[in-house]
Structure 1
Amino acid sequence: MRALLALTSLLAALVLAGCTDEARDALRPSQTGCYFTTGIGETHLTSEQAANAATISAVGLRDGMDERAVAVAITTAMQESELKNVEYGHDDSLGLFQQRPSMGWGSEEELMDPVYASFKFYEKLRRTDGWEDMTLAEAAQAVQVSAYPDLYEQWEEDATVIAAVFAGGKEGGIGCVKGNAPEVTADPELLAEAFAYHWGAEVSEVDGTTVVVDPSDAAEGWNRAAWAVARSYDYSITSVAYGGMVWAAGEDGWTEPNAEEDGEDAVAVANDSHAAVIITFAAA
Structure 2
Amino acid sequence: MRLLPALTSLFLAAAVAGCTEDAGDLLRPSPTGCYFGSGDDRTHLSAEQAANAATIAAVGQRDGMDERAVAVAFTTAMQESELINVDYGHDDSLGLFQQRPSMGWGTEEELMDPVYSSFKFYEKLRRTDGWQDMTLAEAAQAVQISAYPDLYVKWEDEATAIAAAFAGGAESGLMCVSGAADEVAADPAVLAEAYAYQWGIEATSVDDSTVVIGPYDAVPGWNRAAWAVARAYDHSIASVAYAGMVWTPGEDGWVAAEGEATEVSDEPSQIVVTFATPE
Give secondary structure in 1 for the equivalent of 2:140.
helix
Give the letter for the 1:92 counterpart. Answer: D
Matches within 5 A, 1:225-236: 225-236=225-236
Equivalent in the alignment of 2:111: 111
Q: In 2, distance between residues paired with 1:78 and 1:4?
A: 40
Q: Measure how far apart 1:5 and its partner are.
A: 7.8
Q: In 2, distance between residues paired with 1:90 and 1:18?
A: 49
Equivalent in the alignment of 1:283: 277
Give the letter for the 1:10 counterpart. Answer: F
Equivalent in the alignment of 2:13: 12
Q: Measure how far apart 1:243 and its partner are.
A: 1.1
Cα-to-partner distance string for 1:37-67 (whole Å, 9 max, x where unaligned): 1699520000000000000000000000000
Equivalent in the alignment of 2:143: 143
Cα-to-partner distance string for 1:222-250 (whole Å, 9 max, x where unaligned): 00000000000101101000011100000
Q: In 1, distance between residues paired with 2:5 and 2:148?
A: 41
2:50 is aligned with 1:50 = yes
Task: Verify the 8 A CA contact 1:46 1:180 in the aligned structure 2.
Answer: no
Q: Provide closer, same or farther for how the CA distance between residues 9 and 137 of structure 1 changes in structure 2, counting only shifts above 3 A.
A: same
Give the letter for the 1:283 counterpart. Answer: T
Q: In 2, distance between residues paired with 1:37 and 1:194?
A: 26
Give secondary structure in 2 for the equivalent of 1:85.
coil
Stretches of structure 2 that go unaligned for 5 or more consecutive residues are none
Give secondary structure in 1 for the equivalent of 2:128.
coil
Stretches of structure 1 that go unaligned for 5 or more consecutive residues are 260-265
Task: Verify the 8 A CA contact 1:61 1:167 in the aligned structure 2.
Answer: yes
Task: Verify the 8 A CA contact 2:240 2:246 in the aligned structure 1.
Answer: yes
Give the letter for the 2:273 counterpart. Answer: I
Q: CA RMSD in A?
A: 2.5
Task: Verify the 8 A CA contact 2:31 2:177 in the aligned structure 1.
Answer: yes
Give secondary structure in 1 for the equivalent of 2:129.
coil
2:132 is aligned with 1:132 = yes
Q: Measure how far apart 1:212 and its partner are.
A: 0.4
Matches within 5 A, 1:41-190: 42-179=42-179, 181-190=181-190
Percent identity over the alignment is 68
Give secondary structure in 2 for the equivalent of 1:129.
coil
Q: Measure how far apart 1:13 and its partner are.
A: 1.1
Q: Structure 2-normalised TM-score?
A: 0.91
Deviates more, 1:56-65 or 1:40-49: 40-49
Matches within 5 A, 1:235-274: 235-259=235-259
Give the letter for the 1:252 counterpart. Answer: D
